[in-house]
Homo-oligomer: A and B are copies of this chain.
């Protein structure tokens, strides 16, 4: 029998956030080593309960055990890599400009700068990643690595999993002697809870992964505070894929096979799911479409994350398919309409109907057949901000379409050459973000260690004696971190 969680009361929320605020200074002042060990302990706790966590999440999310076990592993990797980055001092981004007492016309005083944490961070867990972008997921790991207490609002669709993960985090915090309030976990199915969280004076930044409506609402609330705070909302995208003839001529079946997998992976419930496939009419595109259609037709139905998502998918798919000039090419097995879906339209139809740009969250993709390269360029020019954009083409295609390449770069955070957008590497070079409406601030990422920077700000120390400076800024560099000293990187 599913456990029911009650929304936190305003009084309890205030108490929780007061504790988080009180935890900030002591937590910020823990050593990088202590913070690293804390994050490692969370990872170890998750690993120790991996099977139990995966089984519980499978019940709540209907994602498979293998995927969920892999996601626990990924979450542990994330926690450890951000912990390593914090220990290595990358997020501190230290700059030291030593005094120039003899400079003319005026001497330069000693100034040194490092990044410091912003304060308590509110994290809104996502529905589609019950581990990696939820309770102990990317935003929480970034906040804790930065030195910020985290307050996580569980996603109601996997509240029990969230609660179980929160228990592991809290246990690790207590064992590591971290201040009470360094991590808090709350439930709140009602929007009012999220609203109160974002508006509370103790909260200094927000991380969110979810819908455009939800992410934008939190952004607006934060911008309207007496003291506006930064919100990084990752709101998904249609991740357009541009199919150029040169590559399809070489490998249409292989590309189709890769995309059948990418479109339907995790029942299509990824932020990086390829929702639009844009090709140029011709025999190679026809081959690609028929291969893709054949693969999609074999994909069995599956249960989506929660009934709300399943209903939205059914509704949005029906709306998309009912648009004039849109035809159904193939759907998967199981039930009269299957689940995985490939639809098709022309470039002219697409350009004329803004409804077709909208994301259909799930295993749905729309193939757009352009009359020519000019029409493809026109579509690229109208595209909104995206997490990813993919160029499927030969090197000649790439070189011969510079205007298209420029247009694609302008609208995405990650630009992929002959690959698939699903599968987001957790490493320093990753960018999981993009121009609005993919996110609310294209200058940051929610995946990879640079995500830690969302929750930090620079603090400059001027004319401080060496022994009063933070360790990170001392001449002797006791933390052995990379720093820009008098404009040269050095360790």
Expressed in whole angstroms, the Cα–Cα distance for A454 and B444 within the complex equals 11
Listed residue (A220, A436, A464, A467) with the most chain B CB atoms within 10 angstroms of its CB: A464
A443 — nearest CB in chain B belongs to which residue?
B457
Expressed in whole angstroms, the Cα–Cα distance for A456 and B444 within the complex equals 10
A460: B residues at CB distance < 8 A: 413-415, 429-431
Expressed in whole angstroms, the Cα–Cα distance for A220 and B462 within the complex equals 33
Expressed in whole angstroms, the Cα–Cα distance for A135 and B307 within the complex equals 56
A108 — nearest CB in chain B belongs to which residue?
B425
Q: Kindly report how many copies of this chain are found in the complex they form together.
A: 2
Stretch at the interface among A4-12, A222-230, A291-299: A222-230
Contact pattern, A 440-457, Cβ under 8 Å of B = 1, otherwise 0: 111101000010011011
Listed residue (A111, A415, A445, A460) with the most chain B CB atoms within 10 angstroms of its CB: A460
Stretch at the interface among A191-199, A241-249, A338-346, A482-490: A482-490
Query: Size of chain A's interface in residues, with CB distance under 8 A?
Result: 75
Expressed in whole angstroms, the Cα–Cα distance for A95 and B90 within the complex equals 12
A residues touching B (Cβ–Cβ < 8 Å)?
A: 25, 70, 88, 90, 95-97, 105-106, 108-109, 111-113, 116, 118-119, 219-220, 223, 227-230, 385, 395, 398-399, 406, 409-410, 412-419, 423, 425, 427-431, 433, 435-437, 440-443, 445, 450, 453-454, 456-465, 467-468, 482, 484, 487, 489, 491
The answer to whether B429 and A97 touch across the interface, beta carbons within 8 angstroms, is yes
A contacts with B: majority SS: mixed
Expressed in whole angstroms, the Cα–Cα distance for A440 and B228 within the complex equals 7
A97: B residues at CB distance < 8 A: 425, 427-430
